[in-house]
Structure 1
Amino acid sequence: MRRWLPCWFGWWFLAAAGAQDGEQLFTLYCSACHGADGKGANEGAFPPLAGSRWVSGEPERAIQIVLHGIHGPIEVAGRHYELEMPPQGAMLADEPLAAILSYVRSSWGNAGSAVTPEAVAAQRAAGLDRAGPWTAEEILSRYPLPLEASVLRDLLSRSYEGDWSELPDFAKLTAANVEEEHDGWLKVESAPFEDHFAMEWEGRFEAPETGEYEFLLDADDAAELRLDGESVVAVTGLGPMDGSRSQTGKVHLDAGSHAFWVGYVEAEGQQGIALGWKVGEGGGYRWLTPVQASIREDRLPIVVGPEDGRAVIYRNFIDGTTPRAIGVGFPGGMNLAWSADHLAPELIWTGAFIDGAAKWVDRGTRPSPPAGENVVKLSAERFLPEEAKFRGYQLDAEGNPTFVATWGNQTLREGWQPGACRDGVPCLVRSLSLAGGSASLRVPLGEFAAIESDAVMARDAGRSVAELRPGLTLTFRYRLPH
C-alpha cells in the first residue's frame, strides 16, 4: 500500500496566511511528514527536504510538485520511496505557497533563492491543462536535478572497447577515448560506445574532513572503487542497476587529497553507474555521478515457481529481454523467457525462476531479473519475417506453452517443455513445426553448444541453425549447465 503525504490546508488557513511566515506555515502543515528539522518524519520514513537537491536549483520543480503532487517511486538522498503526495494547488494560494517554499529552500543547509508569488502564479498558469500528479521520471525529464559541486579533482576518463563480464586489467589495454572531466563527475556518456566497453576514471578525492567515509556503489554491469590503491567497494558480475546489487564500503580517511580510481564494465543492454559518499552516521549521500543509487534494503523474496508439477507463466517485465517477455518456470529448476516482440526465445537458466517482489513489493517499477543462475542468452533479435504476428500461446495439461506466430499463409508453432537428453540428464525440449505455404524457414538455435537433435544443424556466423520445412516438426534438446 502506498502512503499519502497529507499536508492539510483549509479555507480558514488561507484567510490567515498573510499574518504567518514560511516557517510557521511549514511547521503547521508540512512537518508531520517531512519533519520539523526537514529530515523526514518517523526516523526518515518520509523523504527529507534537508540538503535535498529536489528543492534546490531553479524553483520550478518544487512549485510544480506542490501544485500537482507526485506519486510512484522516487529516490531521495540515496533511498527509495513509494509514496503519494496529493496536489495542493487548489488549496494553496500563491503567497502562502511561495512563503513555504522560500523557507524550505533556505533552511537545514539548503541555499536556494526565495520563491515569489509571481513565480508560483506563472507555474500555475503553465500547468492549467495538467490532469494528474507528476511521476519522478516525468518531472525530472523536464526539470532535472542540479549537480552538486564535486569533491573530485583532476579527473580523467578512459574508454576501452571489448567484451568483458568482469573488470579487465586496464594496464594491458589501449584506450579508444580519453576525456578530461572538468566538472568532476563520473559519466558513462563520455564513452563513445553503447555496449561492450569498459571505462576507468582517475583523479583525486578531496576529503573535506577526517573521519569514517561510507561509499554507496551500484552499476549496470560491474564496477569497483579504489582509494589510495585499496579496494573500498565493488559490484561484481552482470546485472541491472536497480538497488538489488548495490554495495556499500567504509574506509577511514584523513582530511585532504586521496588517489581515486573507479573501473566499470558494460556488457549489453542498459548502462549506468552511481557512486555516492558520506561521512559518519546518518545524513544523505553526496554524489559523484549524475545518477543516484538506491540503498539495498533486505526484504523477503516472493518466489514465483512451478507448483504441483505444473509449469508457471510470468507476464511482467523480465530483465535481459524485451518488454513483452513471457517467462516460464518449469519443474526441475529449468526456466525460459520468450519474447513476444522478437517472436523467439531469449533467455534460459537453471535454479529459481523469478522473485516477484520486484513486481508486488516495488510496485512493478523495475524489471525482475532471473532468480536462478547459469543464465544463457539465446538470441536478441527477430528471425521471422517482419510481417509475422504473435498469435498467443496454448498450454497443455502440465502448463507447458506452445507459442504461435503467423505471416501470410504460414504458421509457426514453438513448444517448450522439460525433458531429458540422450544420457538422461534433464534438459529443455524445444519443438518447432511449420504449416502452410511452400517456403522453408531458417531457424537460429542460439549461440549454445549443448544442443542435441536428430535434425541436421549447421553453423552460420557462429550460431547453430536448422532448416524447417512446411509439414515437418523438428525437436531440439538444450542441456543447461548445472
Structure 2
Amino acid sequence: MIRLWFGLMATLAFTASAQDGGQLYETYCGACHAANGEGATGGQFPPLAGSEWVDGPAERAIQIVLHGLEGPVEVSGKPFNLLMPPQGAMLPDDQIAAILTYVRSSWGNSADKVTPAMVAKARAATADRSKPWTAPEILKLHPLPKPESPLRNLTSRVYHGEWKKLPDFAKLTAENVEEEHDGILSVTHADRKDHFGIVWEADFMVPKTGEYIFRFACDDGGRIILDGEVMLEVHGLGPMGGGRTQAAKLTLEKGPHPIRIEYYEFTGQEGISISWKGPDSDDWNELSDTKLKPGRKGPPSIPITPTAKRAAIYRNFIQGTTSRSIGIGFPGGVNFAYSADHMAPELAWKGDFIDGGLHWTNRGVGAQSPAGKDVVKLTSEPALPEGSRFRGYQLDAAGNPTFYNKIGELKLSDAYHASDNQISRTLSVDGNGEPVSILISESHAMGSIDGTAKVMPQPDGTTRTRLSGTMNFTVRDKLTLKVAGPSLLEKGPELYLLLAPGESATLTYTWK
C-alpha cells in the first residue's frame, strides 16, 4: 500500500509537471486551503487569500512549502494550531515555483512571481533541516510585512521624572527628540526602564469617513488627545490591560487628524498599546509595537467612557431594554439607554457607562449590562400610541442626543442633556392633530407640587392633572422625576405626559 501511494504521488507529480500553477495548486494544496484560497471546511484551515504570509519576499513561503509548519500561528487575525506537512521531498523546484506564483497572484494577492532558481537557492540553504518550522522560527528569519501605519510625521519626546499621574509635559524639557519614520509607538527606545515619560505627536490619517473605535491600555498611565480634545485616559499606576483598558467610538472625516499621545512610567513593567477599528475593519489595527492580550476567559474588558467635553454613545444590545437600544454616557457619570423599538428611555443609571468588550471583540453575541450602579427601569413597553414610528436621532457638538419620532401627522422631538447626578429631557410636539400621550414612568409615587395643579377625574377612571409649575414624583424609590409640562395623565401606576401640537415639557431625572 505504501509503495502504491508513493507511486501514485510520483505519477501525479510527473503529470502535473506540464500543468500550470493553478492545476498544481488544486492537486496538492486545495484540499486544505480550498479552491478559493479561503481555507477548507469553512475556514478551519489557514487562508491564503489576502494572507500576510503570502505577501512580501518569497523566501518565507518557499521555506514553509519545503519543510512545513507546525504549532500555533496567526493568519489574517485568526489563530490556528495545525501541521502543514513538508512538500520539498515530493515536489521539484519548478512545481513549487509554479504553485507559489499562482498563490501570490490569485484571490487579490499581488506579490512577485517565484522562479525555480529561487526555490533551488532556498532548498540548498536549509538542506540540513529535518523538521517543520515553527512560526517564531520562520518569522525571525523572514518577518511578515508590516502594514503601513496611519501615523504620519510621527515625532517622540522623552522626559525623565518620577510621576504617579500625568504631568504637564508642556512645562518640562525633553531629554531626547526623534522622528519615528516607521509610524509605530514604542517605549523601548527610552534610555531607561523606570521614571520616564514620552509624548508622541502625529497626524492620524483617516482612510474613510465613518465610525472608528480606539482602544487604549498602558503601564502605567497616559492619555490620547485627538483633534485637540482628550479622547481616552488611563490614570494612576498599574498593569496594562484588564479593567484599566479604555475605549471610545467616534465619527471621523477622511483625512489627517492631529493626535497626541502622552505616557508615563513609574516603576516595574512598562508598555503602551493603542489599536483601532474603522468602518471596513473587523480586526484591530495596531499603532504600537505591543499588542494587547485578552484575558483567558471571556472577552477583554473595554470600558467605554465619555470625555470631559463629550458624551459617549453605544449602539448595541443592552441588557434590560430592547434589541434596538442606544446607550448614552454623559460626562459626570449619569447614563441612560433609549429604545428605538419603544421610542423611550428605558434605563437610567449612575457611575460607569458600559463595557464594550463583549460586542467590540470578534462580534460577540448577547446583551451587555450597564457598568454602573443604581440602575432604574423607567418603562418596558411602547411609550407612544400605536402606529408611531422612530425616525432616528442627531448628536450635537457635545454628543447630546435628540431623538425623533412620528405620530400620525405629528413630530415628536426628545432631547437630552445632563449635569452632575441628573438628566434633563425636553419633549416638544409639532404638526397638526390631537394631543399625544407619552408614557414616562410605569411605577411612580406622588411627591410635592411647586405651583398649582388642577386635578380632573376622567370618565374612564383615570386622573388628568393640569399643571402650572412643576410636579415631583419618585420612580422606583431611586429617582426623583420633576415634570414641568402642561398636562399629566395617571393610569394606575403608569404616568403619561400629554402634549398638544406646539407644546413642550421638561423632565428632570435626579438620583436620590
Taking structure 1 as the reference length, what is the TM-score of the superposition? 0.51
- CA distance, structure 2, for counterparts of residue 273 and residue 185 of structure 1: 11
Shift of 1:137: 2.1
Quick one: structure 1 residues 81 and 122, their matched pair in 2 at CA, closer, same or farther if it must change by over 3 Å? same
- Contact 1:78–1:292, Cα closer than 8 Å, also in 2: no
Match of 1:311 in 2: none
Match of 1:63 in 2: 62
Match of 1:227 in 2: 226
Match of 2:125 in 1: 126
Match of 2:362 in 1: none
Shift of 1:294: 5.1
Match of 2:278 in 1: 279
Q: Which has the higher strand share?
A: 2
Shift of 1:227: 2.9
- Contact 1:246–1:295, Cα closer than 8 Å, also in 2: no
1:284-299 equivalences under 5 Å are 284-290=283-289, 292=291, 298-299=297-298
- % of aligned pairs identical? 51
**Cα distance per residue 1:77-99 (max 9 Å; x no partner):** 44444333332222332222222
Match of 2:239 in 1: 239
**Cα distance per residue 1:62-83 (max 9 Å; x no partner):** 2112222223333334444433
**Cα distance per residue 1:415-458 (max 9 Å; x no partner):** xxxxxxxxxxxxxxxxxxxxxxxxxxxxxxxxxxxxxxxxxxxx
Task: In structure 2, give the amino acid aligned to 1:156.
Answer: T
Task: In structure 2, give the amino acid aligned to 1:207.
Answer: V
Match of 1:258 in 2: 257
- CA distance, structure 1, for counterparts of residue 209 and residue 62 of structure 2: 38
Shift of 1:245: 8.1
CA RMSD of aligned residues (A): 3.7
Query: Is the radius of gyration larger for structure 1 or structure 2?
Result: 2
- Contact 1:179–1:190, Cα closer than 8 Å, also in 2: no
- CA distance, structure 1, for counterparts of residue 36 and residue 230 of structure 2: 36
Is the partner of 1:58 in helix, strand or coil?
A: coil
- CA distance, structure 1, for counterparts of residue 271 and residue 145 of structure 2: 18
Task: In structure 1, give the amino acid aligned to 2:182.
Answer: D
Task: In structure 2, give the amino acid aligned to 1:121.
Answer: A
1:27-426 equivalences under 5 Å are 27-41=26-40, 44-164=43-163, 168-215=167-214, 222=221, 224-230=223-229, 238-239=238-239, 249-267=248-266, 271-280=270-279, 284-290=283-289, 292=291, 298-299=297-298
- Contact 1:39–1:49, Cα closer than 8 Å, also in 2: yes
Quick one: structure 1 residues 198 and 114, their matched pair in 2 at CA, closer, same or farther if it must change by over 3 Å? same
- Contact 1:156–1:201, Cα closer than 8 Å, also in 2: yes
Runs of 5+ consecutive residues of structure 2 not aligned to the other structure: 1-7, 301-512
Task: In structure 2, give the amino acid aligned to 1:239.
Answer: P
Taking structure 2 as the reference length, what is the TM-score of the superposition? 0.49
Runs of 5+ consecutive residues of structure 1 not aligned to the other structure: 1-8, 302-482
**Alignment: residue pair count:** 292
Quick one: structure 1 residues 125 and 203, their matched pair in 2 at CA, closer, same or farther if it must change by over 3 Å? same
- Contact 2:240–2:272, Cα closer than 8 Å, also in 1: no
Is the partner of 1:157 in helix, strand or coil?
A: strand
Quick one: structure 1 residues 216 and 300, their matched pair in 2 at CA, closer, same or farther if it must change by over 3 Å? closer
Q: Which has the higher contact order (CA 8 A, sep 6+)?
A: 1
Match of 1:454 in 2: none
Task: In structure 1, give the amino acid aligned to 2:258.
Answer: A
- Contact 2:64–2:86, Cα closer than 8 Å, also in 1: yes
- Contact 1:78–1:294, Cα closer than 8 Å, also in 2: no
Is the partner of 2:53 in helix, strand or coil?
A: helix
Quick one: structure 1 residues 112 and 202, their matched pair in 2 at CA, closer, same or farther if it must change by over 3 Å? same
Task: In structure 1, give the amino acid aligned to 2:202.
Answer: G
- Contact 1:60–1:143, Cα closer than 8 Å, also in 2: yes
- CA distance, structure 2, for counterparts of residue 245 and residue 83 of structure 1: 34
- CA distance, structure 2, for counterparts of residue 292 and residue 103 of structure 1: 33
- CA distance, structure 2, for counterparts of residue 248 and residue 41 of structure 1: 35
Task: In structure 2, give the amino acid aligned to 1:238.
Answer: G
Quick one: structure 1 residues 189 and 256, their matched pair in 2 at CA, closer, same or farther if it must change by over 3 Å? same
- CA distance, structure 2, for counterparts of residue 260 and residue 114 of structure 1: 40
